[in-house]
């Protein structure tokens, strides 16, 4: 989608701190980090969120990317948390499916809330 900020990041039009990518998935640093390591993992293809008939292979690619992104950002051994905000009550602000990967410090309750 031409007006989707994450599509523009995925296709290189808008710069972002990309930490890992392959043919299906791009991972980049969140603009407003909630943890020492806060990366967004997105599919290159546009889906607005979990309710957008996302093919199973897209979920597989996102999940498979997570440990590789964790390794690339140095949190694979210390641990990390994955979060998918869905809809207004969860505080989803960008309507392009994305997985938050958080790590780099012991989790506190505050790090769970990403609204
Ligand atoms: P969510 O609340 O789950 O929709 O999270 C969206 C996240 O996207 C939020 O933590 C901030 C981040 N974000 C929004 N715009 C940009 C951007 O232009 N660049 C980057 N790197 N992150 C962005």
CATH number of the domain where residue 97 is located: 3.30.428.10
Give the total number of structural domains in the chain.
1
pTM of the model: 0.95
Confidence of residue 109 (pLDDT cuts 50, 70, 90): low
Determine the pLDDT at residue 32: 96
Expressed in angstroms and rounded, the spacing between residue 31 Cα and the centre of ligand 1 is 6
Ligand 1 centroid – CA 30 distance (Å): 6
Quick one: which of 98, 95, 100 has its CA closest to 1?
A: 95
Residue 100 alpha carbon, nearest atom of ligand 1: 3
- Give the distance (Å) from ligand 1 centre to CA of residue 23: 21
Beta-bridge partner residues of 21: 26
Instruction: Judge whether 110 lies within some domain.
Output: no
Q: What is the mean pLDDT of residues 52-66?
A: 98
Q: Which of 15, 4, 20 is nearest to 64 (CA)?
A: 20
Does 40 map to a domain? yes
Q: Which 8-state DSSP code applies to residue 25? A: E
Domain that holds residue 41: 5-103
Determine phi and psi for 29, rounding to 5 degrees: -65, 135
Number of C-beta neighbours around residue 47 at 10 A: 17
The CB of 95 under 6 Å from ligand 1? The reply is no
> Is residue 87 lining ligand 1, measured as CB closer than 6 Å?
no
Enumerate residues 6+ apart whose C-beta is below 8 A from 31. none
| Mean pLDDT (whole number) for 72-85 | 97
């Amino acid at each position: 989608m031409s007006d989707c900020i994450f599509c523009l990041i995925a296709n290189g039009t808008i710069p972002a701190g990309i930490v890992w990518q392959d043919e299906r998935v791009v991972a980049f640093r969140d603009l407003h980090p909630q943890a020492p390591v806060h990366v967004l993992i997105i599919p290159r293809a546009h889906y607005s969120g979990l309710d957008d008939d996302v093919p199973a292979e897209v979920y597989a690619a996102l999940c498979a990317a997570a440990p590789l992104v964790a390794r690339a950002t140095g949190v694979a051994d210390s641990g990390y948390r994955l979060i998918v905000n869905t809809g207004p009550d969860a505080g989803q602000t960008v309507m392009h499916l994305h997985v938050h990967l958080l790590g780099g410090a012991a989790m506190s309750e505050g790090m769970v809330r990403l609204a």
